[in-house]
């Protein structure tokens, strides 16, 4: 009998118990298994990449998988985090602002996730205190253990019930030894104790040092990091070793002896040219089969589904490894010093490139102090230009200079969110002749506020979670380039994260000068896609299409840009999965 059922029996018989084991209605211990990924030595090693790659392999075997990220910070969501500190803010369809790992899961698994897939300490503590105020703890003193850890387990079990997942993949943010994630790690130990050890697989992702001065790999930091995990009651089943180069057998042997993990389960996860090559390597090392064996999932696996999934993914990877063409795409922004600030954008470019058998070189252009002359120099020779999202004054004029260069020099252009707004400002100034035209976010007293606050934003007082967030339908005008790109669809769903929009008072003047608004909010004068008919590819959107781009279904906005960069006409939707053709 699983411990959860035993605890429930004790409570029923005695009316009082020291155990606190929240079990949602419909939850069956053992029905859903768990793969839990921890990090040691340092953060930023790619726990999300590893977990999503392994989850994809199990998904390809016919298993239903659901990821969840447990973050240690006290923020309720990631919306107010600085990109320099935490990378990009990824927005889910339901409007939840999360960290970039949720984007990795969505892309790798081709799933639209929800707020149920993202948890922070702030959410956990908030929920515990609300329960305490409602008297749900029946007069007990509320403590980290068992109430906070109990709330963490409740989140996992709720997700298991809602998704009917065969396997829930749990990623613990940060590294073992961080104060802020200690309650998560303890909750995972309790989960294995309560649901039964045969239902939980622990994975330790660690880092193998290779100091250039020594010329050899060193495992001591990895050993000590995993020792911290062992001290917390977690015995790893699998150890994944991040390194610049393939991890030697000597290092794997040391870790195996030190941690009591069999050599076959100590794997090298060294650098690849693309994260999308990792699932193939994990499959080659039979990591997925190890997990299926550990969790006793053999009777749920579909070999034919696995063969089909493997064949499709190998075709995608072949196009990444062996491109037939090459282009240079300039990305112009103010967070270019931290590539993670544009993680989804980079992946969307890669998806589009793979779909067109093209390698896309990215040229980074910092717009902070960029002038028009500087833009001409920085963008010379680029085959395409992207002006991405952002907030605030810094770098805005540099982005406008890049927009003008792309428009006047007939360089394929894609504007995203803020890049859409800056395209409006540039067109208003230099084509419509509206001197001083600007966004009120940048210049509150501009004589021509062509970009202004959304009406509902005037009453907003806070910052967190108050923008227009998440997925919304967009009406696409027939006969436009956007309509062609989306295969003639009349309505498409895009994701948004913005406070400002095109001022309706200027729409007629902009369109009268030749600008075409090819996408708008249904029933409202809110413009969401623009294009220039006399340009081979000048397209911008108020949305973030990179959030919905997938490896086998690249975003039409990015596919159109890469196609135009190759000198072709913009193409319709690309579906790289032959099973759907």
- What 3 state SS string does 153-217 have? HHHHHHHHHHHCCCEEEEEECCCCCCHHHHHHHHHHHHHHHHHCHHHEEEEEEEECECCCCCCCC
Angstrom distance (rounded) from CA 124 to CA 145: 13
**Nearest alpha carbon to residue 412 among 568, 529, 536, 572:** 536
Q: Evaluate whether 470 touches 414 at the Cβ level (below 8 Å).
A: no
Structural element, H or E, at residue 278: helix 278-284
Q: How far apart are CA 202 and CA 409, in angstroms?
A: 55
**H or E stretch including 416?**
strand 413-416
Exposure of 557 in the CB half-sphere (CA atoms within 13 A): 34
Residue 230 and residue 236: Cα distance in Å, rounded? 8
Q: How far apart are CA 559 and CA 118, in angstroms?
A: 30
Q: What distance in Å separates the CA atoms of residue 23 and residue 153, rounded to the nearest whole number?
A: 8
- 3-state secondary structure (DSSP) of residue 376: helix
Angle, CA 55 vertex, CA 267 and CA 181 arms, to 5°: 80
Q: Which of 147, 448, 498, 544 is catalytic?
A: 544
Query: Who's near 578: CB < 8 A, 6+ residues apart?
Result: 312, 315
512: helix, strand or coil? helix
Task: Calculate the CA dihedral of residues 145, 148, 149, 154 and round it to 10 degrees.
Answer: 140
3-state helix, strand, coil in the chain (%, to 5): 45, 20, 35
Is there a catalytic annotation at residue 417?
yes
Neighbouring residues of 425: CB distance < 8 A, sequence distance ≥ 6: 400, 437, 438, 439, 450, 451
Nearest Cα to Cα of residue 246 among 279, 204, 217: 217
Bridge partners of residue 266, in order along the sequence = 239
Which entry of 106, 417, 432, 531 is annotated as an active-site residue?
417
Active-site hit among 71, 171, 475, 546: 546
Strand, helix or coil for residue 374:
helix
Closest CA to 471 of 100, 76, 114: 114
3-state SS assignment for residue 56: helix
Which of 154, 183, 170 shows the shortest CA–CA distance to 74? 183
E strand residue ranges, 339-397: 358-366, 384-387
Which positions ≥6 away from 158 have C-beta within 8 Å? 24, 116
Q: Which is nearest to 67 in space by CA: 128, 108, 29?
A: 108
How far does CA 184 lie from the centroid of its chain? 21
| Active-site residue set | 417, 544, 546
């Amino acid at each position: 009998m699983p411990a959860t059922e035993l605890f429930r029996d004790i409570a029923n018989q005695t009316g009082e118990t020291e155990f606190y084991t929240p079990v949602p209605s419909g939850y069956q211990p053992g029905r859903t298994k768990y793969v839990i990924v921890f990090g040691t030595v340092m953060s930023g090693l790619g726990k999300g990449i590893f977990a999503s790659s392994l989850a994809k392999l199990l998904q390809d075997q016919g298993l239903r998988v659901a990821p969840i990220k447990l973050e240690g910070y006290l923020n309720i969501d990631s919306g107010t985090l600085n990109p320099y500190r935490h990378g990009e803010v990824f927005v889910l369809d339901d409007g939840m602002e999360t960290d970039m790992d949720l984007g990795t899961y969505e892309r790798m698994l081709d799933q639209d996730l929800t707020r149920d897939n993202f948890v922070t300490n702030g959410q956990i503590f908030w929920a515990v205190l609300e329960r305490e105020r409602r008297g749900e703890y029946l007069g007990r003193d509320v403590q980290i253990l068992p109430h906070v850890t109990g709330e963490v387990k409740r989140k996992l079990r709720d997700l298991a019930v809602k998704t009917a997942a065969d396997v829930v993949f749990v990623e613990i943010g940060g590294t073992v030894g961080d104060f802020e994630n200690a309650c998560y790690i303890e909750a995972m130990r309790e989960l294995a104790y309560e649901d039964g050890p045969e239902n939980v697989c622990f994975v330790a992702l660690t880092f193998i040092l290779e100091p250039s001065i020594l010329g050899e790999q060193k495992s001591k930091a990895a050993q000590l990091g995993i020792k911290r995990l062992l001290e917390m009651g977690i015995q790893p089943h699998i150890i994944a070793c991040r390194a610049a180069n393939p991890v030697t057998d000597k290092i794997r042997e040391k870790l195996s002896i030190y941690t009591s993990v069999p050599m076959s389960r100590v794997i090298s996860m060294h650098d690849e040219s693309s994260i999308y090559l990792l699932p193939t390597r994990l499959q080659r090392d039979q990591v997925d089969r190890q997990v299926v064996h550990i969790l006793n999932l053999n009777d749920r696996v579909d070999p034919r589904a696995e063969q089909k999934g493997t064949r499709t993914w190998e075709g995608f990877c072949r196009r990444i490894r062996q491109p037939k063409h090459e282009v240079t795409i300039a990305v112009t922004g103010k967070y270019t010093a931290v590539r993670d600030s544009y993680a989804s954008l980079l992946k969307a470019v890669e998806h589009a490139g793979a779909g067109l058998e093209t390698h896309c070189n990215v040229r980074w252009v910092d717009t902070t102090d960029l002038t028009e002359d500087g833009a001409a120099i920085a963008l010379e020779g680029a085959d395409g230009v992207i002006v991405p999202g952002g907030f605030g004054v810094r770098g805005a004029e540099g982005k406008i200079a890049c927009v003008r260069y792309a428009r006047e020099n007939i360089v394929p252009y894609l504007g995203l969110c803020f890049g859409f707004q800056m395209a409006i400002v540039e067109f208003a100034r230099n084509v419509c002749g509206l001197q001083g035209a600007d966004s009120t976010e940048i210049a509150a007293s501009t004589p021509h506020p062509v970009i202004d606050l959304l009406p509902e934003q005037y009453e907003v007082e806070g910052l967190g979670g108050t923008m227009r967030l998440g997925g919304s339908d967009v009406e696409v005008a027939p006969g436009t380039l956007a309509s062609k790109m989306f295969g003639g669809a009349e309505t498409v769903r895009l994701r948004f994260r913005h406070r400002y929009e095109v001022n309706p008072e200027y729409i007629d003047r902009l369109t009268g000068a030749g600008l075409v608004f090819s996408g708008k909010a249904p029933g409202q004068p809110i413009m969401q896609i623009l294009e220039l008919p006399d340009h081979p590819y000048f397209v911008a959107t108020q949305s973030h299409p990179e959030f919905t781009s997938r490896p086998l279904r690249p975003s039409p906005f990015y596919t159109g840009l890469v196609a135009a960069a190759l000198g072709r006409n913009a193409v319709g939707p690309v579906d790289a999965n032959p099973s759907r053709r």
